[in-house]
Structure 1
């Protein structure tokens, strides 16, 4: 049976031995009482999986970054289908934040990794997930590096918009399109995760065309009747074929829709209407996924 809750006793790098870790899709009360940080692992197919890890203390920036890198080098979650993206020999040499540009220097182990795009995406997603960081520049041995082998993504101007699990790597295309992370449910080692894929949508497409493209990737049965954006709230009118017996839509489908559409520019929340009535099951702030509690 597929499970959405995991309980396991592990010791991860600097975390206390014997900590109890479990992955759960939603527990808003407990999540709100802790500091969440996002880490990236990969499955056996090299798909990147964002995991929300809760800690009880916020740390100084450089210490926090070093701890995150240490955690993403850990192999302790292999039993749950999660593997480290980052080589255990990779070391953080220095961290500097100036004018919202975060510069992190690594040792030359960064050159030896074969899956360069996965590493760049994982590092960028995690290291730009700070309020004060708008851009990331990666250095090796304190020197600027334009590209890694097997990658065309420039390392001197990385932003959160790069996303995860990109279909398209060519840097010219990145600047001609709107990046969106579209989430789907995936079974990994008998556990269910929400896994994003970053799509590039033409900037010339209308809002309705962009929304329909995203919804089609989530579930081909979703039929969009109308889409409008007002005060950063995207309102969808969907066909009634999605309704369940309780006149609501499936909770997992709702979460995938919300997570995906809020990655669009200027969209902070989403309302879903069917037959003129809202069919949302929960507030957007209550959606928590791939959550690990220590």
Structure 2
């Protein structure tokens, strides 16, 4: 009888324990899944719902990338030549673009972390661009601070050339006049280079030795030659004096371009020395027609013209007054293509390599 009582008591206790367990499970289910809740298939749904519920007016939008535009800045390369490099600079209001470009020519300025190997800025450290004024005749008046005068005499022409070519990349700028702290400069402050009515591309850049040239019967022409600094490929403008009358001038320029400016300039010679013109150049409606011998081709028997050869020709010839585009042909070749196999089906303009804009 005592054993039965103990057994019965144990069964009662067990029943209470089991009842408590079932009630606990039900309570957890009720907390985790409300009666009206829809089933969730995966964690992505949970994250999505949590995000929607947690949205607020203070949500941070991702920052938009600043708009930039390519700018040609003329700097000094490892060989001491003034040459351009293209940089993506933040877009400025039209009247600020030229000032921005000049500020990037200052040593120790914003250009410093972007300089390619071997290149350096040209304007003395601390130089400030105080004001710019573009006049209707294409003259841009640049007012600089007194720090501008802190340069060596041998750098004077490089400074003038770099500033002039940087500013004249804008198609409505023809020449540059200088002021320092508001005072007009008739000559440069260190070596006395005359500024006259303004400095322009006609004054030349990286001028080569002209001892063997008759300056009376010749004219200065700026030619573009490719150069390399490690993996960096760029073009060096070199002003050479070319002889020839109005009818022969284009042929004389092509001949000088093929010959090159000499070894002292450290540029790359991209022409086969046997290359020549197969016919006299013709300028018609702004298009200069140049027909070359087959030595112009990158590979004999193939209608491919080297990209560097084409850019050298077009950059140089479109600098000439009245030449808007160049139609390059090779004798006995029906259609020329570039290194990527793309057909030259129309004359090539300078804008192909150097897009321009107005201030």
Instruction: Determine the C-alpha separation between the residues in 2 that align with 1:233 and 1:279.
Output: 17
Instruction: Determine the C-alpha separation between the residues in 1 that align with 2:217 and 2:178.
Output: 23
Runs of 4+ in 1 over 4 A off after TM superposition: 173-177
1:33-112 alignment runs, 5 A limit: 35-55=69-89, 57-61=91-95, 63-73=96-106, 74-100=111-137, 101-112=139-150
1:110-121 alignment runs, 5 A limit: 110-114=148-152, 115-121=155-161
8 A Cα contact 1:235 1:272, kept in partner? yes
Greater helix share, structure number: 2
**Could you say if the C-alpha distance between residues 189 and 141 of structure 1 is closer, same or farther in structure 2, counting changes exceeding 3 Å?**
same
8 A Cα contact 2:244 2:252, kept in partner? no
Instruction: Determine the C-alpha separation between the residues in 2 that align with 1:175 and 1:86.
Output: 34
Deviations 1:29-57 (A, max 9, x none): xxxx9743221111122111212333463
1:124 equivalenced with 2:164 (yes/no): yes
Instruction: Determine the C-alpha separation between the residues in 2 that align with 1:90 and 1:155.
Output: 22
1:198 to 227, 239, 242: 239
**Could you say if the C-alpha distance between residues 203 and 78 of structure 1 is closer, same or farther in structure 2, counting changes exceeding 3 Å?**
same
Deviations 1:173-200 (A, max 9, x none): 9998544321222121442222221223
Residue 275 of structure 2: aligned partner = 222
Aligned residues: 256
Over the aligned positions, Cα root-mean-square deviation in angstroms equals 3.1
Higher relative contact order (CA 8 A, sep 6+): 1
Residue 142 of structure 1: aligned partner = 182
**Could you say if the C-alpha distance between residues 174 and 126 of structure 1 is closer, same or farther in structure 2, counting changes exceeding 3 Å?**
farther
TM-score, normalising length from structure 1? 0.75
Larger radius of gyration: 2
Aligned-pair distance for 1:123?
0.8
1:165 to 202, 206, 216: 206
Residue 152 of structure 1: aligned partner = 193
Instruction: Determine the C-alpha separation between the residues in 2 that align with 1:135 and 1:49.
Output: 18
Deviations 1:160-180 (A, max 9, x none): 3334322379xxx99985443
**Could you say if the C-alpha distance between residues 78 and 103 of structure 1 is closer, same or farther in structure 2, counting changes exceeding 3 Å?**
closer
Deviations 1:40-81 (A, max 9, x none): 1111221112123334635232x2222112222222244532
Instruction: Determine the C-alpha separation between the residues in 1 that align with 2:217 and 2:310.
Output: 29
8 A Cα contact 2:242 2:252, kept in partner? no
Q: Which runs of 5+ in 1 are unaligned?
A: 1-18, 21-32, 290-294
Residue 10 of structure 1: aligned partner = none
Residue 27 of structure 1: aligned partner = none
Residue 279 of structure 1: aligned partner = 336
